[in-house]
Amino acid sequence: MTIKQLSVFLENKTGRINEVTKILARHSINMQAFSMAETTDFGILRLIVSEVDRAVEILREANFAVMLTDVVCLRCDNVAGSLSVILEQLAENQIFIEYMYAFAEGEQANVIIRPNDITRCVEVLSDCKCNVVKEF
Amino acid sequence: MIWNPNKECMSRDEMHSLQGKRLQKLVQYVYHNVPFYRNKMQAMDLAPEDIRSIDDIVKLPFTTKQDLRDNYPYGLQAAPPSEIVRVHASSGTTGNPTIVGYTRKDLAVWSEVMARCLTAFGVTRDDTFSVSYGYGLFTGGLGAHYGVENLGATVIPTSTGNTEKHIRLIRDLKISGIACTPSYALYLAETLEKMGLSKDDIGLRIGAFGAEPWTENMRREIEDRLGLKGFNLYGLSEIMGPGVSYECQEQNGSHICEDHFYPEIINPDTLEQLHGGEQGELVFTTLTKEGMPLLRYRTKDLCTLMEGECACGRTSVRMGRIMGRSDDMLIIRGINVFPSQVESVILEMSEFEPQYMLIVDRQNNLDTLQVQVEVRRDFFSDDIGRMLSLKKQLADKLRSVLSISADVRLMEPGSIERSQGKGRHVIDKRMLK
């Protein structure tokens, strides 16, 4: 019920994100979603990609510090209030969200969540009949 | 094992008398062959006959790196050109390089003292020994090379560069000993691991490390990752090259080959000789050198001298670890900072690679110190809070050790330039302004 997110450590330097995207492009790996968390001197690029294991391998080969993190991806209607209902459930069940990011396409919206307790989070989401994505 | 017990275990009285005789002869020799020294002594109203024992050494003038530069290239050479069989040059980063000529006898002394060092480290005729100092003008490569040959072990002159090939040779030729800079040893360990190998795949047991200051933490790190025992090998090209002093199995200071290189510790400001284990600047007089003998050469290395017989049986004076060089000492906001202090903090934290760079700058008339470190791949965390607290932890430790605050920068693994020779760890941008 969880999916693997790729996290890449990057120095704050012009062109570093492009280095990652170039390598992925060269190996025909598609990025489905990403977000960037940044501090003054470094950032963490979080990615959902088409072939996660191969992506790890080729990025490590190119000397990047890379790790995999389990995240939950859920799909909801792209209408006002749909995410709020879900987050309400998570809050009621004492699930803390470390970070999340989302993207909408047409009728649907995808939300990627990194909760503090991933097993419990998946349980709560299944109980409330949320559409948890198993694979992209 | 002791290579030359006659000299290395000589009684103190005998040693002092030998040093006194050699000093008298040396002073006569330079007075008559080196105008630089004759002029200096005449200006001090000092005649060679005024030197009667080793204690009279305090009457003699000092020699500095600047003197060597001013007399470039051969001004301080005492032997006629026909007697010089080899020339080395120091890697001078500023001004003229230092040119050192060696006579046939100088080279014999050099391979003698190097054999003493290697024997103290535990190297025997049965060892296969890789010399990974640079071969060429730098004294490290050839100096260590002839020591290994003199001892009778097998020398593999790998020099620096092509580290993967080097590691294959270490494995395939069953190389058991290596001489290189400590930073190259760390680079070797890194490359070994990158090749998917570990210390168990190679059979290194002895490391002779020198040519740059290093710390106990660095020793542990190298020993852990390469599976060897690391020994300090000290030397400087102006005096001879590697082989001036060496650690024995006790590893309590480095024994100085003081029948050839007479050590003193001085206060670098007052130039007075210090005694009783006080820290100061190390000074050497080359008692037996023919090519370019030097009186009281100021090394700029800060350390202490230890007297007393060592548990290994040697009686020679030992020098403590180099606490820094008075010329790589940084003064940041009025505080003395040695790169080795930063290094020891970084090596204590397993989350970082043993690579670092200090960037010193001046902004709005205030000195700034930036410390760049690489996060180890296996310690990288997706949690930004954890990364920031790691950064803060290092900054706090640095502040407590250095007494000034440093701006820590977390860098990607592999992004700080690796040095294959002397480690370069400081960029001082203030000098450019």
Contact residues, A window 88-127, toward B, CB-based 8 Å cutoff = 98, 114
Closest approach of B407 to chain A, Cα-based (Å): 10
- Residue A131 is predicted with a pLDDT of 85
Within a domain: B271: no
pLDDT in tens, B149-192: 999 999 999 998 889 999 999 999 999 999 998 878 988 998 99
Within a domain: B346: yes
Mean pLDDT throughout B384-403?
A: 91
Residue B44's pLDDT band (cuts 50, 70, 90): very high
- Taking each helix axis from N to C end, the angle separating A82-92 and A118-127, rounded to the nearest 10 degrees, works out to 120
CATH number of A3-69: 3.30.2130.10
Mean pLDDT throughout B29-53?
A: 97
- Residue B34 is predicted with a pLDDT of 97
Residue B371's pLDDT band (cuts 50, 70, 90): very high
Block residue for tokens 């003064």: B331
B206 and B155 together in one domain: yes
Cα→Cα distances A20→A65, A86, B44, B64, B378, Å: 11, 33, 69, 52, 19
Report the DSSP beta bridge partners of residue A5. A69
Give the ranges where B9-103 is alpha helix by DSSP (H). Answer: 12-33, 35-43, 65-70
Q: Say whether A66 and B380 touch across the interface (CB within 8 A).
A: yes
Q: Say whether A69 and B382 touch across the interface (CB within 8 A).
A: yes
Number of separate domains in chain B: 2
> Taking a C-beta distance cutoff of 8 angstroms, is the pair B263, B283 a contact?
yes
Within a domain: B377: yes
Determine the straight-line distance between the first and last CA of chain B, rounded to whole angstroms: 54
DSSP label of A79:
S
What CATH number should be reported for the domain holding residue B199? Answer: 3.40.50.12780
Residue of chain B whose alpha carbon sits nearest to that of A5: B382
Whether chain B has a CB inside 8 Å of the CB on A60: the answer is yes
Rounded Cα–Cα distance for residues B152 and B399 (Å): 49
B129 and B167 together in one domain: yes
**Domain parsing of chain A, residue ranges:** 3-69, 70-133
Residue A57's pLDDT band (cuts 50, 70, 90): very high
Closest approach of A42 to chain B, Cα-based (Å): 7
Within a domain: B427: yes
B87 pLDDT above the threshold of 90: yes
CATH number of A70-133: 3.30.2130.10
pLDDT: which is higher, B162 or B123:
B123
Residue B433's pLDDT band (cuts 50, 70, 90): very low
- Residue B431 is predicted with a pLDDT of 60
Disruptive mutation site among A17, A34, A42, A45 for chain B (greatest number of B CBs within 10 Å): A42
- Residue B172 is predicted with a pLDDT of 96
Please tell me which of the candidates A5, A7, A63 has its beta carbon nearest to residue B413: A63
The SS3 of residue B397 is helix
B249 and B384 together in one domain: no
B312 and B352 together in one domain: no
B79 and B129 together in one domain: yes
Domains A3-69 and A70-133 equal at CATH topology level: yes
Residue B94's pLDDT band (cuts 50, 70, 90): very low
B287 and B398 together in one domain: no
What CATH number should be reported for the domain holding residue B394? Answer: 3.30.300.30
- Residue B397 is predicted with a pLDDT of 93
Q: Which two tokens stand for residue B13?
A: 């009285």
B355 and B243 together in one domain: no
Q: What is the DSSP track for B329-392?
A: -EEETTEEE-HHHHHHHHHH-TTEEEEEEEEEEEETTEEEEEEEEEEPGGG--S-HHHHHHHHH
Q: Do you find a cis peptide bond into B73, omega within 30 degrees of 0?
A: yes
Within a domain: B325: no
The pLDDT > 70 percentage for chain B reads: 94
Tell me the ipTM for this assembly: 0.82
Pairing of strands B229-236, B206-209: parallel
Mean pLDDT throughout B349-354?
A: 90
B31 pLDDT above the threshold of 60: yes
Domain span at residue B105 reads: 1-262+281-296+307-316
